[in-house]
A and B are shown apart, each in its own frame.
Chain A
């Protein structure tokens, strides 16, 4: 059995988790390749013109996997993909919701491709993540022990990755160069084709790029806890007055991480020179989020640049705006 996982959208929320989970269960995993022009074109042609660019890219990956499927020989000997994994992410462990566009992805995928879709509803308001994974394992005819072992190894691998990222972050923040923070959803940041190699471009312009998802979560910081709690209380009082209480997981996460970033930079006495937010056109959630992110940086007197990406964004235009932005710093 071969399980295909589209390397887009939800995959980037847990970059290494899914493939190690399915490999732990004894399946072959086929990840779709990094986004390229052909995949984007396929996705754009197939999907609704008004959905956001990220979803279009996701459908492109889905169709690529569908092209690799082998409908005639469904036995284990065949080389094709037997199942495509599209989870329905509804709420995370903090009982916060994902983007509403994620809710319908498996149903839309079913309309679009011939390959059977493997799906599970991850709603942690109703049941724990592990329980849902058990159910998913049951669907694939694996027993409880196997699923548990696979989950644990997957979690371990994910943790390693996070620790590595955190280490990198603390190295980056120490560097002498101008530090620019990139804010967006993981599926825009990690996918190099989608964000038009923004990281590379900024580094060429002599900046140190920090991704927002590299910033450690609040509970992970290695600071004196006492100090943080008092500061956090103060900050949370301030931010309560200013910003909204997001019911979206990324909203809360990004706002929290921005707070955390400024706290760390204050503690280590380094300055964040600028911030760039990218969002895919026309992302509905970012329309809300941007207003508050922008205000957060304006209050701290940090230059802020807002860029939009879609299938028609030209690299030259991007480059010009980035150069102008770096010059103003």
Chain B
């Protein structure tokens, strides 16, 4: 059986993952964009009490499976102690119970394991895998770069929604590219276009930090495009959480040690997932005198729920506006919008009162 690959959808980074597999000469059917329909289908199949990303990703496989994909890639221990570890097993079980003939590849996030799994499935030379990985990282870096640029430009742009237009165009262009030289050219072009956006330098822009669980924070379709909405309200969004951050932490352990040292007065142990990072980032934003912090989490996410009382304690001590949004398949966009609007009002008045 020739492997036709699909994988979990993850925001704008899906493009980079797609080219990683394509570069290795594998046939790929990218997962469907997450919408209410796919979420509903995923939730119908998956265990009721499981956390939201499992349901969302399961829903995003289904259309690809219907198109003929037969191999699914899922990472196994991205979350440390939390139940993300069992995603692969549960999804495999659920899909097989539904009668899908699939090959589920459940790999660990160690470079060695990733390499051996890729080698086994693609049967290409080590050099080609290396090249593909290098290109993947470059593309990932570019996507993250333009996301960051957009976060900066959105609140400052003179002509409204111009940044988003360029961002959408750029993502489409990146999707089509598959060699390094053209990527470099495109990078220059995108950055040139972004730099041509007229911005209002005089304007003092409010700053809000986005913390929480990595999947919900990074995927704009899951979090109802919270970055854009805040940007249009003239608020600059900062977020540290992205794949590069996660990969760096997986490779270099000292980042964890630094985080632990900084948060020692609040929490003396890991709680799995990115629980510690949330506290660290929040303390950082308080120190930098931000105007607010938003925590995003899938409902019942174990690490984030565990640290939430601590975040609330920091919020009480410092007075920084804090909003915690738990997302799941039953949350409606309107509900989130209302809470965001109220939060934006609080943020706008936070520094005025002092």
Which A residues fall within an 8 A CB radius of B?
47-48, 50-51, 88, 90, 97, 99-101, 103-104, 106-108, 111-112, 121, 244, 247, 279, 281-288, 290-291, 295
Contact = CB atoms under 8 A, between A and B. Distances in A.
B268 A111 contact: no
B93 interface: yes
A306 to B, nearest CB: 10
Contact of B50 (A111, A244, A279, A287): A287
**Which one of B90, B273, B299 has the highest number of Cβ atoms from chain A below 10 Å of its Cβ?**
B90
Given A50-B305, A100-B302, 13 more contacts: A47-B309, A50-B326, A51-B306, A97-B81, A100-B275, A100-B306, A101-B306, A247-B81, A284-B51, A284-B82, A287-B49, A287-B83, A291-B93
A288 B302 contact: no
- Which 3 pairs, one residue from A and one from B, show the smallest C-beta to C-beta distance? A287-B49, A100-B272, A284-B302
B100 interface: no
A108 B309 contact: yes
A88 B306 contact: no
B308 A107 contact: no
Nearest to B86: A288
Nearest to B94: A291
A291 B268 contact: no
Given A100-B82, A111-B310, A284-B82, A51 B49 contact: no
25 contacts: A47-B309, A48-B308, A50-B300, A50-B308, A51-B306, A100-B82, A100-B272, A100-B273, A101-B306, A103-B81, A103-B271, A103-B272, A104-B269, A106-B268, A111-B310, A111-B313, A112-B309, A279-B49, A281-B49, A284-B51, A284-B83, A284-B300, A285-B302, A287-B47, A290-B47
A303 B83 CA distance: 27
Nearest to A59: B309
A201 to B, nearest CB: 24
Nearest to B308: A48
Contacts of A121: 268-269
B269 A111 contact: no
B49 A282 contact: yes
A107 B301 CA distance: 18
B271 A100 contact: yes
Contacts of A282: 49, 300
Nearest to B263: A107
B286 interface: no
B239 interface: no
A166 B85 CA distance: 34
Nearest to A284: B302
A173 to B, nearest CB: 31
Contact of B306 (A108, A112, A247, A281): A108
A104 B81 CA distance: 13
Contacts of B313: 111
A67 to B, nearest CB: 20
Interface string B281-316: 000000000000000000111110111111001000
Contact of B305 (A51, A90, A285, A291): A51
A288 B46 CA distance: 11
A71 B49 CA distance: 42
A79 B247 CA distance: 53
B305 A48 contact: yes
Contacts of A99: 302
A31 to B, nearest CB: 25
B253 to A, nearest CB: 15
B266 interface: yes
A285 B270 CA distance: 17
Contacts of B310: 104, 107-108, 111
A285 B268 contact: no
Contacts of B267: 104, 107
A288 to B, nearest CB: 5
Contacts of A279: 49
B188 interface: no
B302 A101 contact: yes
A100 B305 contact: no
